[in-house]
């Protein structure tokens, strides 16, 4: 069995490192970060923190190096989904491709390039310590199921879930994984941009009463949209906020990491996704609209302050 991890940043590295522990799976990690790829090729991929793993997946920046794969796991940032799939589509000519990305809309893009698609969501998170070394900050499960418009078979979903679980990434195969995906979407859209805008880790932000009120209001808007879509959430995202306050107090969510590094964020796939489905279902989402605009304004300020950029007086 051959599996290609498309996008071997922090989250992709968790999947690559765990799966590469299984002797009967050939794992390929595809990423454009030359330093990370070179480090994996030279000394393997190391995880610390919640997981202690040192394994040796294949790693490359050249899609032509990758053999045809039975499964793909896409873990890129949402804004890179299309370019990543354009580069690797030939690898999955006869395979099933699973998204474990944040936000919504990624599976629709993957379906343009892959014959069969799996909808997925994952709660483990981490950050890159140095090339070839990722620290896993939080644990949790992964949920996967057929993507309804262009589904992988349930048998394929179950195989991938079983092998991931065997590798140490607990994964549940579901006939309908929309509830799990939207539970995390609402959680992320309510908490990640608050961290990005304030610079505060999750638990610290929740300790500020005014911010905690905003988070709950964002959750409420997201839950209303999910209900209008007929999606039954796996759990209450507001309760997940409190749980994360206990187990991931100082965790810097991916959007905060992006803000600190002045990188483009996934706000369009998170808050923008909820806004889009809100419009489709007639559910007002003014807070998500405002948060989306504020984060995009923050991103615009970075470009404005770049060396060589013109500043209007």
Q: Of 167, 155, 94, nearest to 124 (Cα)?
A: 167
The predicted structure's pLDDT at residue 70:
98
Counting other chains too, the contacts that 276-280 makes at CB distance below 8 Å and 24 or more residues apart are 277/104, 277/225, 277/228, 277/229, 278/221, 278/224, 278/225
Q: Is 121 helix (H, G, I), strand (E, B) or coil?
A: strand
The answer to whether the CB of 157 falls within 8 A of the CB of 118 is yes
Task: Sketch out the chain's domains with CATH numbers.
Answer: 2-175 (3.40.50.720), 179-304 (1.10.1040.10)
In tens, the pLDDT along 10-32 reads 999 999 999 999 999 999 999 99
pTM (2 d.p.): 0.91
Would you state the torsion angle of the CA atoms of residues 288, 291, 293, 295, taken in this order, to the nearest 10 degrees? -140
The answer to whether the CB of 233 falls within 8 A of the CB of 225 is no
Rounded distance between C-alpha atoms, residue 148 and residue 262, angstroms:
36
The predicted structure's pLDDT at residue 308:
64
In tens, the pLDDT along 149-204 reads 999 999 999 999 999 999 999 999 999 999 999 999 999 999 999 999 999 999 99
Rounded distance between C-alpha atoms, residue 6 and residue 8, angstroms:
6
In tens, the pLDDT along 51-79 reads 999 999 999 999 999 999 999 999 999 99
Q: Is the pLDDT of residue 129 over 90?
A: yes
What average pLDDT does range 294-306 have in this prediction?
A: 91
In tens, the pLDDT along 267-285 reads 999 999 999 999 999 999 9
Q: Is the pLDDT of residue 224 over 80?
A: yes
First to last CA, the chain: 60
């Amino acid at each position: 069995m051959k599996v290609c991890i498309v996008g071997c940043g922090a989250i992709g590295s968790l999947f690559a490192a765990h799966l590469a522990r299984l002797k009967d799976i050939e794992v390929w990690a595809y990423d454009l970060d030359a330093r990370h790829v070179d480090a994996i090729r030279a000394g393997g991929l190391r995880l610390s923190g919640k997981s202690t793993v040192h394994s040796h997946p294949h790693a490359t920046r050249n899609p032509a190096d990758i053999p045809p794969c039975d499964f793909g796991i896409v873990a890129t940032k949402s804004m890179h989904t299309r370019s990543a799939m354009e580069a690797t589509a030939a690898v999955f000519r006869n395979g099933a491709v699973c998204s474990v990305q944040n936000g919504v809309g990624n599976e629709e893009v993957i379906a343009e390039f892959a014959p069969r698609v799996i909808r997925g969501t994952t709660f483990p998170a981490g950050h890159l310590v140095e090339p070839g070394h990722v620290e896993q900050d939080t644990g949790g499960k992964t949920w996967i199921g057929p993507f309804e418009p262009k589904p992988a078979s349930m048998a394929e979903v179950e195989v991938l879930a079983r092998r991931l679980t065997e590798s140490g990434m607990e994964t549940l195969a579901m006939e309908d994984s929309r509830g799990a995906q939207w539970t995390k979407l609402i959680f992320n859209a309510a908490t990640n941009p608050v961290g990005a805008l304030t610079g505060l880790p999750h638990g610290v932000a929740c300790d500020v009463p005014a911010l905690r009120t905003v988070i709950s209001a964002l959750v409420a808007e997201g839950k209303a949209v999910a209900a209008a879509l007929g999606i039954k959430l796996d759990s209450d995202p507001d309760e997940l906020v409190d749980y994360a306050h206990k187990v991931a107090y100082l965790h810097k969510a991916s959007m905060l990491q992006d803000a600190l590094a002045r990188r483009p964020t996934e706000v369009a796939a998170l808050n923008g996704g909820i806004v889009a489905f809100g419009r489709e279902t007639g559910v007002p989402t003014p807070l998500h609209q405002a948060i989306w605009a504020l984060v995009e304004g923050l991103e615009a300020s970075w470009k404005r302050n770049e060396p060589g950029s013109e500043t209007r007086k």
